[in-house]
Structure formats: C-alpha cells, structure tokens
Chain A
C-alpha cells in the first residue's frame, strides 16, 4: 500500500478515527500511529518488519546511552569515556549503514568486483547476493542516523519515550519515501498530545489533494510518453527522445513532489508538521539553488552530515569545497541506487556544483572591481540564460538517472542528437499535454507576477474552494490512470 493507492482510502479513515476519537493523550495517539505504521509497512513485506524493530531498538539504546554519558568538557578530558562514546556511535552507524550496505549495495559491489576480476582474466571473486530491498530503507535509515549523530554531538537530547521514538522512526506517511525528518524538528511533536485544529486539517487535506493530483494524474499520465522510449530508444525519432526526456522531468517531479505532499498532508491531518521537500525547483537559476529546492530533506541531510563536517572539520578536506560537492553528490547518486548510472549522475552534479562554485568565485572578482557586474547579474537576460542553462542541464542529466544501464544512457543520449528509428512519440494524448501544462502552471503561480493571483484563488470563499476541490476529485476519479505503476522514489 502507498499513499496514492485505493487501499489507503479504507485504511486512513480507521486510523484517523482511532487517533482522534480515543483519549487525547500522547501515548494513545502514538500507539495508534505506530501500530498503523507497522501494519502499513507489513503490507509491503511482513517478513522485513523485524528489521525495522531491530533498527529502532539499536538506535533507541545508542541515543539513550550517549545522552546519559555526555561528552567530557574540554577542560576535563576523559579519554576512556570519549572512546566508549565513539564505540556506541560506531555500533549504531555500523548497524544502520551495514544493513543498508547488505540489502542495497552488496550485490552491486560483488557484481562489479567480479566483472573487474573477469576482465583481468580471473573467475568470480565473490558470490553475488541479492536481497529484496526493504521499502523506504534509505529514508528511515538516514532519519535515524541523523538522530543518533545529533545526540552524540549534543545538538539534541535523546527522547525518554520509546513509543515516541518508534513512532518517529516508523510514521507511515513518510516511512517509504520521506521527507527525511530531523529529530530536532519532529521528535518534540511526538512528545506532546496533538490537537485537532481545523486549519491543520483543511491545509492537510488540500496538500493531500494536490499531491494526489501530481502523483496519480501528472506522473501516471506521463509514464506512457516516457517508458517506451527509454526501454527501446533505437526505435524512436529524435523528437520522441526529447519529448520523453522533458516528459520524464515533469513525471519525476509529479511523482516525488506529489508523494511528498501526500505525506505532508497526511501528517497534518494527524497534527504533525513534516518538513517541506520541494520548493518550485523548476524556477531555479543555478544548480546550487535547484538542490536547495529539490528533495530538500535529503540535500539538507547530506549537507549537514557530510558536506559541512568534511569541509569545516580539521581533516585534509577542510576548505576544499569543490571536492566536497563531488563527494556529496557521489553519495547522493549511490543513495538513489546501486547502479553505475546513478554514480554517473551524481558525478555530473558534483562536478557541475564545483564548476559553478569556481565560476561564482571568478564572478565575485569582477563584482569587486566594478559594481556594474552586480547589476548585470540582476538583469533579466542574465537570469533567463541562467534559468535555461540550469533546467537544460538538470533535464539532460536525467538520461543516466532514468536509463536502465550505462549503455542504455549512451544510446538514449545519441538519440537526442540524431534519429535512430522512425517511430514517433508514444502516449502523446491531450492528457499528456495537460499534465505538463499543470507542472508549468504550478511553477508559474509562484513567480512574482502571478503569486498574487494564487493568493486570491486560495483566499476565495469557502463554498467556491469546496466546489473547486470537489471538481478536482471528480476529475481525478474520471481521468487518473487506473492500475497505476509503482512509485518511482520508493525504490530508492
């Protein structure tokens, strides 16, 4: 079950009623959410539920121990305690990252090593083990790792309530695809009773509906435009390749931003505020800006737990921001999947950020010499070129992101330049155009000239808004593709 599937419309009302009709106590509310979350997880794979329980228990223990044994002050060094603390953090990290490595990367690395040894004339060096990837593993692992690291450094205190912690780890709307929550922002919400506020409920329902529109209509309508061309690029014309590529950009946005809104909306309906995950990314005028607007929760995590410590720490990487970008985006690529295509995608983005940083430093020297360069950067033509370049680069790097293999990415990339086949763009229906148009309108309403119009629409009288929401529900019921495919980001 996912948040956009029909089963949810039977599951959600039961959980909602139990949560709000029972005692307004933290314990009851958390118990309902935790049990519901485990049931939700079990619908994907009941056999992997003990893994979630074990990981929760290990991190609960590690954080409590670290909290009970705070780091010694600089003027009162205690090497034995410092060493024990590192061991406890190590146990948590080895457990979390070990499980991630085993389920997600063991097969990939063994296969890659065997290929390398084979190329050198040897036999298989390692058996290739492949396990069913626990759904959402990368998301909830990062959330827990962030918590234990924060407690280790004293940024936050460990929660006293195992129930609150288990609910924080397993909360079903964000369990399979985030947003990756920060303990400092989320855990305190699980430690107090939630109130049913009409504003949160209405806002949550609106987010849910918008998310459903993006996920169930936009993303699913565009799948037939994208999938056939990426599956057999040789058959299709150059135009079909470009259509599939831009269609994929809209599809993956609809898919993930949609699911994030479903999660945030569902969270609000339970009185919980999950972090924002998308902030109109297609308005970005540089790659750093795009990564502050796309999958915000993951990029914040990577920035805070990898980039920041590496580049401001005392090690060799201190101040080496360019290298930091490459390391972080290689990690991001690997996080997305154990495939060379994702590693290539991460490398391209890491290099792009490093290059942008160099360009930015050069441009600053121009600005210091003459302020006219500051004005040029604020001019419309500069912004337009910067925006077009950013979007084109992002879309082009979706080739390795979406392609099934490096060879497939190469074939698809060639197809963007010269026609390989003679089949036209598949799946191009009025609904496909409408789906792309909706993504454009969604972003356009955030631009300065149209923002006021959006605010006016949102402030329309309640009956009018009610009619609009009802019309959207009817539209979805009639036109959203039935039997829609899987959710793209859940596989990460």
Chain B
C-alpha cells in the first residue's frame, strides 16, 4: 500500500471518530502537530494506537510511543510504513 492509501485510512479514522468530515480540511499539511492543533488529545492517541495496530497489523513498541513518532500525519504514516513490509499493489 502506498503512502497516499495509508494516509487516507488515517484521515478516514479521524473523520469517523473526531472530526466528522472536517479532518482533511483541518490537517492543512502532513507535518501539522496533532497535539498542538487540537486534532487529537491524549485519549485520542491511545485510540489511534489501538486503531493502527489493528488496521495495519503493526506492533507499536512502548519505547516508540512518543510525540516524535505520532504527532503528525507524516510521522504516523511513516512509522506504520517503516514497521511493516508494505509494497505498492
């Protein structure tokens, strides 16, 4: 799966759970900080981790659970792709 496909899945999840159609509009760039811009709160991050592990079949290790890895769309998708053997269909 490509970056774009994974990216869209994360946006769909954000829409379905937090922003109901506004996620793409709110995330102006893929580097926008989720915490600083109210895209997700700390509980939202726990739910995001559960979603990523289930959807992308990736195990997120505790030492990787940090702002550096999950605070923006690019970081999230980048982490998922780096920890799973994705190949473009």
Contact = CB atoms under 8 A, between A and B. Distances in A.
Contacts of A292: 41-42
B46 A321 contact: yes
Contacts of B25: none
A180 to B, nearest CB: 16
Contacts of B26: none
B16 interface: yes
Nearest to B42: A303
Contacts of A318: 50
A153 B63 contact: yes
A312 B46 contact: yes
Interface string A150-168: 0001110000000000000
A368 interface: yes
A312 B63 CA distance: 13
Given A288-B43, A303-B42, A307-B46, A367 B20 contact: yes
A153 B62 contact: yes
A154 B61 CA distance: 10
A319 interface: yes
Contacts of B22: 374
Contacts of A155: 62-63, 66
B20 A154 contact: no
A364 B17 CA distance: 7
A319 B50 contact: yes
A352 B17 CA distance: 21
Chain B residues touching A, majority SS: helix
A154 to B, nearest CB: 4
Interface in B9-58: 16-17, 20-22, 41-43, 46-47, 49-50, 53
Interface residues of B, number: 18
Contacts of A312: 46, 49-50, 53, 60, 65
A300 B35 CA distance: 14
Interface string A312-323: 100000110100
A292 B41 CA distance: 9
A139 B66 CA distance: 23
A309 interface: yes
A154 B50 contact: no
A294 to B, nearest CB: 14
A107 interface: no
A374 B20 contact: yes
Contacts of A309: 62
A311 interface: yes
B41 A308 contact: no
Contacts of B62: 153, 155, 309
B43 A371 contact: no
Contacts of A311: 46, 50
A224 to B, nearest CB: 38
B65 to A, nearest CB: 7
Contacts of B50: 311-312, 318-319
The 8 tightest CB contacts between A and B, nearest first, are A154-B63, A367-B20, A153-B63, A153-B62, A312-B49, A374-B20, A155-B63, A303-B42
Given A319-B50, A357-B43, A371-B20, 8 more contacts: A300-B42, A303-B42, A308-B46, A311-B46, A312-B49, A312-B50, A321-B46, A364-B16
Interface of B: 16-17, 20-22, 41-43, 46-47, 49-50, 53, 60, 62-63, 65-66
Interface of A: 153-155, 288, 292, 300, 303, 307-309, 311-312, 318-319, 321, 357, 364, 367-368, 371, 374
21 contacts: A154-B63, A155-B62, A155-B63, A288-B43, A300-B42, A303-B42, A307-B46, A308-B46, A308-B65, A312-B49, A312-B50, A318-B50, A357-B43, A364-B16, A364-B17, A364-B20, A368-B16, A368-B20, A371-B21, A374-B20, A374-B21
